[in-house]
């Protein structure tokens, strides 16, 4: 064809068989506004659809081009680097460009585009706080960042309340080195609390207004206004939660992901990418530096370290123990009821009460309880058999005052005894925050009791003696650090039916250690559980690297992620049978199933799980995505769901 003005666009249609670029003609009136990255409207399959311009061309293979309907906005919201990242993420996780672009670019807010652009000061880069430089290899890493080198590292700060600066100090050291070199910085955190803390530190170090934040909590107007500031190049320092990992930072020099094992960094919408992996993909594609940080270390990061793709920045375990709190284990079976009436009342080990008393002598004491409720279930004290109603066999639950209640039959008319061993004593194996607070309030009647859980959060407590009970992730910060912390019911976190249960439990326990004073000031952490549990042993030694290495070795032996790519394919049995032609040619592919999941009004849903070596993962994902695309194009019956390396 002759010379024509062509816009190659990605249409916002989340259908795999339409996951490609389409050509449209640019009219004379649109010529000045059409640029790569702008939003347009196109007529597609008889309907008006949103689309993004990917590139401009002078020719096309299409004989008759439909024109663009209109340019929605001349703002470039999808840069070439972001579009490339969106494509890579979609291919890696088996999604579509449209699915990922919605995660990367917030909805348009026209008033924000028309608003005046405020003046933003440059970040004031001063001297480093010295936090990151105090770790082995830290000085070399910072020097490389200052020179603009794309260095990649994993950092594990010491989990203690008054280390030389907290985790944000090390993150800002890395950011300052890159900002001083004149490049952009992107800092990603898992939740609003971490974002607020990091924002206050950035304001103190770099100056108010020198950075912007990206978070869904901001609301549509503020989020889009801040996004435009980044896209226009008005700001070089960007902070945000998981979606910010796609932020179009100009001349990006560093991406930091804090608390990289936190499941809040995993996107709950298709195609379910994790910010840690997206950051790694982006660092490789844009040749920028990367810092994956956290008190714990995931098997995914350990795999990258063992490959030499990134370098660990961490103290030896012996030095971490010297700087951190003292950690001990109290056996869950050692109640010592004959020695301590309080232990008999609260069903806690004797050593726990000793630790509480010692801690209260110098400050607040934190107790982490895995559940927020009162007493979810009861069990026999002697043989641990779950207590069930003698009439309907439904689990019995306790109420205030010790009355046993069946949710079907109501209160028990008489005493209960175990049908297995005859013991009449009961215990609550999964006691929640409220029940534990009630029991400890009776054991320590003169001490203030504070409770914190989701929906009832307490941000901070003072340095006066108090019992602070919280669920994981809801622990308040104590002024000056906690004198002691108790980790109760550790077996509940370790016993979850989850590949990452031990890894996640250790991450949460290390987060508690980070709230406690160092051992040199009497700070103590006591975990109640089985002493031979590997995660608890790693906690006692504060050996993050050793635990991650053993965890990864087990993944290699059992062929689970990250030592393999794992793909779950849910749909009707016919679709799973068709999928065999896609996964069978992949070298090393190994199927599990299909197994039935559920039956709905649309029919029965089955699940096929296929794993293969990481080197062939892209071929496996592409093949199964092709099955989805083919069935959708034929309008075959049944909903389909593809999930790669489910978190």
Q: Is the pLDDT of residue 263 over 90?
A: yes
State the Cα–Cα distance between residues 316 and 328, nearest whole angstrom. 19
- The predicted pLDDT at position 328 comes to 95
The total of other beta-carbon atoms located within 10 Å of residue 359's CB is 25
pTM of the shown model: 0.88
pLDDT number for residue 602? 66
Q: Is the peptide bond before 271 cis (omega within 30 degrees of 0)?
A: yes
No. of helices (H) and no. of strands (E), the chain: 20, 29
Q: What is the pLDDT of residues 82-105, one digit of tens each?
A: 999 999 999 999 999 999 999 999
- Confidence category of residue 336, pLDDT binned at 50, 70, 90: very low
* Residue 373: predicted pLDDT: 47
- Return the closest-CA partner of residue 584 out of 623, 543, 629: 623
- What is the predicted pLDDT for the residue at 617? 96
- The average pLDDT across 114-124 equals 89
Residue 426 pLDDT grade (very low, low, confident, very high; cuts 50, 70, 90): confident
**Predicted local distance difference test score (pLDDT) of residue 234:** 95
pLDDT single digits (tens) 354-385: 999 999 999 999 999 887 544 445 677 766 67
Task: Measure the CA–CA gap between 203 and 211, rounded to whole angstroms.
Answer: 8
Mean pLDDT over each residue of the chain, to the nearest integer: 89
Q: Give yes or no for residue 345 having a pLDDT over 50.
A: no
pLDDT for 372 equals 55
Q: State residue 233's pLDDT score.
A: 95
Given a cut of 60, whether residue 23 has pLDDT beyond it is yes
Query: Which pLDDT score, from 0 to 100, does residue 344 have?
Result: 42
For the stretch 98-103, contacts whose Cβ atoms lie closer than 8 Å and that sit 24 or more positions apart, written own/partner, are 98/10, 98/11, 98/12, 98/13, 98/14, 98/19, 99/14, 99/269, 99/270, 99/271, 100/271, 100/273, 101/10, 101/12, 101/52, 102/12, 103/243, 103/246, 103/267, 103/269, 103/273
């Amino acid at each position: 064809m002759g010379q024509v003005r062509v816009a190659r666009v990605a249409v916002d249609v989340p259908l795999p068989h339409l996951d490609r670029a389409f050509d449209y003609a640019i009219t004379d009136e649109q010529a000045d506004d059409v640029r790569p990255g702008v939003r347009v409207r196109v007529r597609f399959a008889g309907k008006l659809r949103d689309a993004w311009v990917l590139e401009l061309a002078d020719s096309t293979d299409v004989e008759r081009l439909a024109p663009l309907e209109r340019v929605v906005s001349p703002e470039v919201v999808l840069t070439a680097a972001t579009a490339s990242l969106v494509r890579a993420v979609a291919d890696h996780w088996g999604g579509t460009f449209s699915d990922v672009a919605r995660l990367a670019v917030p909805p348009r807010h026209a008033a924000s585009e028309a608003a005046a652009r405020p003046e933003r000061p440059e970040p004031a880069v001063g001297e480093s706080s010295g936090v990151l430089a105090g770790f082995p290899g830290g000085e070399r890493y910072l020097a490389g960042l200052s020179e603009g080198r794309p260095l990649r590292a994993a950092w594990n700060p010491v989990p203690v309340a008054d280390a030389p600066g907290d985790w944000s100090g090390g993150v800002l050291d890395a950011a300052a080195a890159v900002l001083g070199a004149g490049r952009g910085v992107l800092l990603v955190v898992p939740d609003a609390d971490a974002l607020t803390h990091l924002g206050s530190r950035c304001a103190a170090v770099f100056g108010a207004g020198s950075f912007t934040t990206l978070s869904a909590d901001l609301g549509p107007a503020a989020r889009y206004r801040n996004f435009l500031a980044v896209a226009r190049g008005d700001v070089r320092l960007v902070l945000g939660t998981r979606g910010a990992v796609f932020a179009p930072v100009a001349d990006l020099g560093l991406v930091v992901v804090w608390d990289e094992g936190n499941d809040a960094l995993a996107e709950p919408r298709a195609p379910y990418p994790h910010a840690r992996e997206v950051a790694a993909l982006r660092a490789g594609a844009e040749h920028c530096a990367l810092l994956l940080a956290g008190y714990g270390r995931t098997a995914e990061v350990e795999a990258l370290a063992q490959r030499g793709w990134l370098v660990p920045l961490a103290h030896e375990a012996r030095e971490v123990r010297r700087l951190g709190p003292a950690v001990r284990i109290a056996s869950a079976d050692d109640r010592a009821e004959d020695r301590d009436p309080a232990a008999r009342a609260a069903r806690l080990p004797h050593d726990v009460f000793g630790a509480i008393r010692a801690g209260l002598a110098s400050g607040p004491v934190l107790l982490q309880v895995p559940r927020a409720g009162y007493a979810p279930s009861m069990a026999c004290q002697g043989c641990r058999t779950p207590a069930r109603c003698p009439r309907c066999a439904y689990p019995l639950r306790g109420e205030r005052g010790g009355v046993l209640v069946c949710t079907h039959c109501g209160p028990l008319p008489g005493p209960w005894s175990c049908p297995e061993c005859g013991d009449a004593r009961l215990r609550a194996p999964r006691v929640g925050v409220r029940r534990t607070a009630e029991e400890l309030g009776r054991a320590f009647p003169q001490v203030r009791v504070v409770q914190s859980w989701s929906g009832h959060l307490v941000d901070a407590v003072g340095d006066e003696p108090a019992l602070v009970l919280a669920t994981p992730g809801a622990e308040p910060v104590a002024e000056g650090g906690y004198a002691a912390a108790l980790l109760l019911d550790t077996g509940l976190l370790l016993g979850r039916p989850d590949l990452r249960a031990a890894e996640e439990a250790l991450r949460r326990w290390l987060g508690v250690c980070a709230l406690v004073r160092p051992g040199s000031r009497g700070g103590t952490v006591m975990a109640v559980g089985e002493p031979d549990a590997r995660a608890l042993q790693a906690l006692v030694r504060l050996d993050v690297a050793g635990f991650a290495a053993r965890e990864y070795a087990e993944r290699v032996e059992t062929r689970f992620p990250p030592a393999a790519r794992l793909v779950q394919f849910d749909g009707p049995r016919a679709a799973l049978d068709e999928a065999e032609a896609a996964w069978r040619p992949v070298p090393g592919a190994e199927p599990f199933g299909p197994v039935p999941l559920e039956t709905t009004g649309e029919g029965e849903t089955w699940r096929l799980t296929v794993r293969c070596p990481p080197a062939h993962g892209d071929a496996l994902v592409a093949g199964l995505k092709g099955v989805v695309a083919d069935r959708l194009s034929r309008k075959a019956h049944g909903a389909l769901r593809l999930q790669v390396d489910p978190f």
